[in-house]
Amino acid sequence: MGKKLKNSGLVGLGVVAGVAISLQFSAMAQKPVDPPLPLEELRQLADVFGLIKSDYVEPVEDKKLLTEAISGMVASLDPHSAYLDKKAYAELREGSQGKFVGLGIEIGQSEDGYIKIVAPIEDSPAWRAGIKPGDLISRLDNMQVKGMSLDESVKKMRGEPGSKVSMTILRKDEAEPLVFNITREEIHQKSVKGKLVEPGYAWVRISQFQEPTVDDMAAKILELYKQDPNIKGLVLDLRNDPGGVLQGAIGVAAAFLPKDSPIVSTNGQLPDQKQIFYGRPEYYELRGENDALAKLPAALKKVPMVVLVNTGSASASEIVAGALQDYKRADIIGSQTFGKGSVQTIRQLTADTAVKLTTARYYTPNGRSIQAKGITPDVAVDENADGDGLNALRTREADLDKHLVNDKEAEGAKGKRDELEEQLRIVALEKKRKPLEYGSGDDFQLQQALNHLKGLPVQLAKQGTTVVSVDSAAAKK
């Protein structure tokens, strides 16, 4: 219990801690290396290689040794840089395109050590088989999963299309375990949901920034305006959005800001990492088609807005929240975000392998660095009426070993971790709570966001506060 609980990950996307990357795909480009190669250290590397080949207890393949050496070298830099072998590279590309081969479930680590079903993806094999939110996976193909990491479980649930996996489920109110035999297939995951939660008020949720996200969001907003041409308040829900493709974040922010507004800037060693990204099609269109935002109603630029965030909101979702906050276009409601303010560029090495390398920090339009800090909400609101749930126990960027420091501010000492007794109290409370469905009538933070838009009292985060009234976004527009 001394460690913070990790966020949920999406099966097939390889997102273990709920933190994706602000992806930029790039051909190999590098800064010229002026100093000579460190020959003495390279000789030591060769000597160690030779020792392992001659003295290790059993033979080791050359390819394995060299691949692991590359992997270790890159991984030693920061928590988000990594060597991508053939399988990892393919999975990353699939995830950014919004499709993957698997079962179609969002999972998290349960407090009992099992793998917990957060939600099945609609019309996926898991959804059709009857898997439900809150189910606990106890076995995969007769292998116990208690204590298994999310990454390991993701790998076991992936496979070839048409192959099967046996899943043993523990379900509340069921006396005996349930066994499901599910056939893997290609999952096309929609990253955008939306609906009119009540007359005049729309809710749009982005679960991850993928290549189709801008197009999907534009289509969803057009659909909502057809249902109600006089929308008077919109909630953009970025809770537990781990990030994703950078262009998706630029396009989403551009939809709500004045034309050609600067959205985000980056700064790194290479000239192409010293950039300002504007709300123009050339910065967010990935498919080379018509501008998906061109047909959106003009009213969208001025409709009062709230952006919902939490500790699981990271990277690209922080870019959107930061831009809308800097322009005072929306009020940010929820909890402090994850704090991942670095950009990872994919440098392809071979046809099947690549390096995911941190190449820059990113900054909001006002020049704020989010790295290891995150976005501070304008209005702090807990996840539930009785507290912030597991958000207080989640890992954030500043908790990760070797994380990049915030170059705009001195990094303060980490706050004292929750005492064991308080952690146990929170976990016990969450065990009794049914899984939260974002956008439902039981969504406490969404209800507070709607109250804020209407100028009604909002229940603030429970840090010695009481129910108070705050200026609404509608009143300020």
What phi and psi, each to the nearest 5 degrees, are found at residue 141? 50, 45
CB proximity list for 106: less than 8 A, separation 6 or greater: 8, 9, 10, 11, 117, 118, 119, 120, 121
Tell me which of 96, 315, 369, 472 is the catalytic residue. Answer: 315
* Nearest-angstrom CA–CA distance, 153 and 11: 8
Whether residue 108 contacts residue 134, with contact meaning beta carbons closer than 8 Å, is answered with no
What is d(CA 265, CA 319) in angstroms, rounded to the nearest whole number?
A: 10
CB burial of residue 196 (10 Å; 0-12, 13-18, 19+): middle
Token match 């820059």: residue? 360
What is the spatial distance between Cα 240 and Cα 308, in angstroms, rounded to a whole number? 10
Amino acid at 408: K
Whether 315 sits among the annotated catalytic residues: the reply is yes
Helices then strands, each counted (H, E), the chain: 12, 23
Q: Do 168 and 158 contact (CB within 8 A), yes or no?
A: no
Determine contact, residues 333/377, Cβ cutoff 8 Å.
yes
| Cβ within 8 Å of residue 250, ≥6 positions away | 263, 264, 277, 279, 283, 284, 319
260 counts as catalytic: no
Task: Copy the structure tokens of residue 27.
Answer: 């051909």
- The stretches of 31-99 forming alpha helices (DSSP H) are 39-55, 62-75, 86-96
Between CA 131 and CA 444 the distance in angstroms is 25
Residues 423 and 393: beta-carbon distance below 8 Å: yes
Q: How far apart are CA 96 and CA 38, in angstroms?
A: 37
End-to-end alpha carbon distance in the chain: 45
Given 237, 241, 326, 378, the catalytic residue: 326
From 6, 116, 340, 454, active-site residue: 340
- Residue 163 annotated to the active site: no
Beta-strand relationship, 99-102 and 467-468? unpaired
Which residues carry out catalysis?
Answer: 315, 326, 340
